[in-house]
Chain A
Amino acid sequence: MRGGRDALRALQVPGDRTREQIRKVIKLKTSRKFLLLILIPIFIEALVFLIIPILGTLGISFLNYNPLNHSADFVGLDNYRELLDDPDAVKAFKNTIVFTVVAVALNIVISLAVATLISQMKSNKTRSFFRMIVFLPCMAPMVASAVVWGRSIFNTKIGLVNQIIEAFGGEGVAWTGDPHYVMFSVIVFTLWADLGYNIILYSAGIDGIPGEVYEAAELDHAGGWNKFFHITLPLLGRTTTFVVLMTLISYFQMFAQFSVLLFKDGPQNSGLVLTSYIYENAFIYKEMGYAAALSVVLFLLILIVSLVQQRINKVDWEY
């Protein structure tokens, strides 16, 4: 026990040895008590609300568990087989992947661009002002932002977007009611609501690049674009890895904006994503077994993406 060894080292300090030795024995005892006092409740909590739920959901995914009709029979891989034949599940997968890929790509490009532009401002005050503004939407509950966008920005009749389009003689569209525009609208909203995080992370990354690197480039008469592509971008590699992974994981699980912006997952399920489908199956239809299987697949999807990303990153480093 490290605490004990520390006490032992303390004995080397000249002084009343016997008293120190007694103290050491007491210390060891209190340390053990202290450890158990904290670890046991923490362990129980982690067991009941982290470990058991993970194993439990995995187990339930092999049952046709539905508390409404009291069924809980072992059905093997039936739930997993079923989701391959379920057009809604397939649609939910497709939508989730399209949303995640497009939104993450746009998010990374725009947040890097905005962070770089902000870093070009000379005065510290201007920089923190712009960072504050772009981070503002991240503070608000996403539900509140989605209500505002759904009701007064994307609204077909009185929404700001259509009002502007009509003022220029165009024809407004049903942003959240037309299956062609549903995904576009949700992505635009998500970018508005969520870009601030990555802009801040990229800004911190840019601030961490030593000025001498740019100084050297300046001596070689490197222009702005050159400096960006040959210095800023490569040196932000670590930040990018982190930002991409975190954004991917969180976008795979997005739910609030789909639930609030769209009416019942949008027309023809055009805005149905995995989390919504899991939520509906588990808590509305109470098809817990099927929902569990869907959630396990979502977990595997996230796991695979994380592993692939790590692999790509490794290759990058070796290069």
Chain B
Amino acid sequence: MKDFAYTRDFKSRALIFAILLAVSIIVVIPYVWMLSNSFKTTIETLTDPMHIIPQEFTLDGYIKVLTKSPFFHWLGNSVFITCFNTIVILFTSTLVGYLFARFRFKGRDFLFAMLMFTMMVPAQVTMITTFIIIDDIGLYNSVWALIIPSFVNVFGIYLCKQYCEEIPRELIESARIDGAGDFAIYWRIVIPQIRPAIGALAIFTFMEYWNDYLNPLIYLSSTEKMTLPLALSYFSTQHTTDLSATMAASALIMIPAAVVFIIFQKQFIKGLSMTGMK
């Protein structure tokens, strides 16, 4: 269809392919290096760093991470915080987005403008006072410190509002005539209509909390309360001489994310381009 956009010449296309291949190799090399080191013995990582394939293949690094550190605790904390936040944010964003798009009430525009303004303010500003509040209500060093302040996601509300405005009015009207209540309309009509926005938002929220480092660093102080990214940075400073265990820990954190991405890559890329263009 868009044939004219492409370079016709075979030679230059082969050159472009070669460049892209080189770029891909650069992107992938750190992963290869991580895996290679994670299967080496500690001694081999120091004496023979250039061999990609370990001379002596070992799982010691992985065994050390899984048995000598509370890895499953960390995984559990990360899963709990991320899933809890993602579900709550999807619920509040769709609901509030729908309200802002479809209902008229006093102070609506002011409230929305205020929310949009907070989106401009970087987290570094809010984190100081939020810390004082969280500390005051006794949630310091608790996973709830990373959950309770995140219920309102302004970007999510904005995204859902944009999509709710495009729902044909007749759809909601006819549901009302059929006697559907407000919540039923939201659940059975609005949600299915804005599914693409929900998918994109789910991906963003999931990644935001799964990868977050600064907030766990501020709020979590004891080892077994840590989330995976914080725990990994802690683990690597505890094992400065043990490259194999550190790389095994990194692999255990990076590989699941990579697998999830490869499975859902179409949705990821679609969601990303969609919100970028909005």
Task: Let me know if A296 and B173 touch, CB within 8 A.
Answer: no
Instruction: Indicate the size class of the contact surface on chain A.
Output: 35 or more
A156-175 CB mask vs B (1 if < 8 Å, else 0) is 01111001000100000000
* B45 cross-chain contacts in A, Cβ below 8 A: 158
Asked whether A114 and B20 contact (CB < 8 A) given A23-B179, A57-B129, A259-B213, the answer is yes
Q: Which of A11-38 contact B (CB under 8 A)?
A: 13, 23, 27, 30-31, 34-35, 38
Q: Give the size of the chain B interface in residues (CB under 8 angstroms).
A: 102
Q: Which of B27-44 contact A (CB under 8 A)?
A: 27-31, 33-34, 37
Give bound CA distance, A143 to B6, whole Å: 38
* B218 cross-chain contacts in A, Cβ below 8 A: 279, 283
Tell me, yes or no, whether A239 is within 8 Å of chain B by CB: yes
A94-121 CB mask vs B (1 if < 8 Å, else 0) is 0000000000000000000010011111
Task: Let me know if A288 and B254 touch, CB within 8 A.
Answer: no
Asked whether A139 and B124 contact (CB < 8 A) given A1-B105, A148-B33, the answer is no
* B96 cross-chain contacts in A, Cβ below 8 A: 38-39, 42
Task: Let me know if A151 and B247 touch, CB within 8 A.
Answer: yes
Give bound CA distance, A157 to B232, whole Å: 22
The interface-forming segment of B61-69, B187-195, B262-270 is B262-270
Task: Let me know if A46 and B182 touch, CB within 8 A.
Answer: no
Tell me, yes or no, whether A182 is within 8 Å of chain B by CB: no
Tell me, yes or no, whether A308 is within 8 Å of chain B by CB: no
Identify B16's interface contact among A117, A239, A249, CB under 8 A.
A117
Identify B213's interface contact among A2, A126, A256, CB under 8 A.
A256
Give bound CA distance, A275 to B124, whole Å: 7
Tell me, yes or no, whether A89 is within 8 Å of chain B by CB: no
B82-125 CB mask vs A (1 if < 8 Å, else 0) is 00000000001001100100111100000100110010111111
Identify A139's interface contact among B181, B217, B261, CB under 8 A.
B261
Task: Let me know if A133 and B27 touch, CB within 8 A.
Answer: yes
- Nearest A-chain residue to B181, judged by Cβ: A30
The interface-forming segment of A80-88, A198-206, A311-319 is A198-206
Give bound CA distance, A144 to B125, whole Å: 26
Identify B258's interface contact among A140, A197, A206, A243, CB under 8 A.
A140
* A145 cross-chain contacts in B, Cβ below 8 A: 30, 254
Give bound CA distance, A274 to B123, whole Å: 12
* B121 cross-chain contacts in A, Cβ below 8 A: 54, 299
Task: Let me know if B33 and A53 touch, CB within 8 A.
Answer: no
* B177 cross-chain contacts in A, Cβ below 8 A: 10, 13
Task: Let me know if A144 and B254 touch, CB within 8 A.
Answer: yes
Identify A1's interface contact among B95, B103, B254, B276, CB under 8 A.
B103
* B114 cross-chain contacts in A, Cβ below 8 A: 46, 51
Of A13, A148, A227, A259, which is in contact with the most chain B CB atoms at under 10 Å from its CB? A148
- Nearest A-chain residue to B130, judged by Cβ: A53
Task: Let me know if B123 and A253 touch, CB within 8 A.
Answer: yes
Task: Let me know if A211 and B246 touch, CB within 8 A.
Answer: no
Task: Let me know if A152 and B130 touch, CB within 8 A.
Answer: no
* B213 cross-chain contacts in A, Cβ below 8 A: 141-143, 255-256, 259
Tell me, yes or no, whether B211 is within 8 Å of chain A by CB: yes
Task: Let me know if B277 and A144 touch, CB within 8 A.
Answer: no
Task: Let me know if A158 and B265 touch, CB within 8 A.
Answer: no
Tell me, yes or no, whether A244 is within 8 Å of chain B by CB: no
Task: Let me know if B125 and A298 touch, CB within 8 A.
Answer: yes
Task: Let me know if A298 and B261 touch, CB within 8 A.
Answer: no
Identify A53's interface contact among B5, B27, B126, CB under 8 A.
B126
Q: Nearest 4 pairs between A and B by C-beta?
A: A204-B273, A56-B129, A211-B2, A53-B126
For the complex with contacts A128-B269, A135-B268, A200-B273, 11 further pairs of A-B residues with Cβ separation under 8 Å are A39-B96, A50-B152, A114-B23, A117-B16, A135-B269, A144-B254, A148-B247, A148-B254, A201-B273, A288-B128, A291-B128
5 contacts between A and B (CB under 8 A): A6-B176, A38-B96, A163-B50, A192-B26, A255-B213
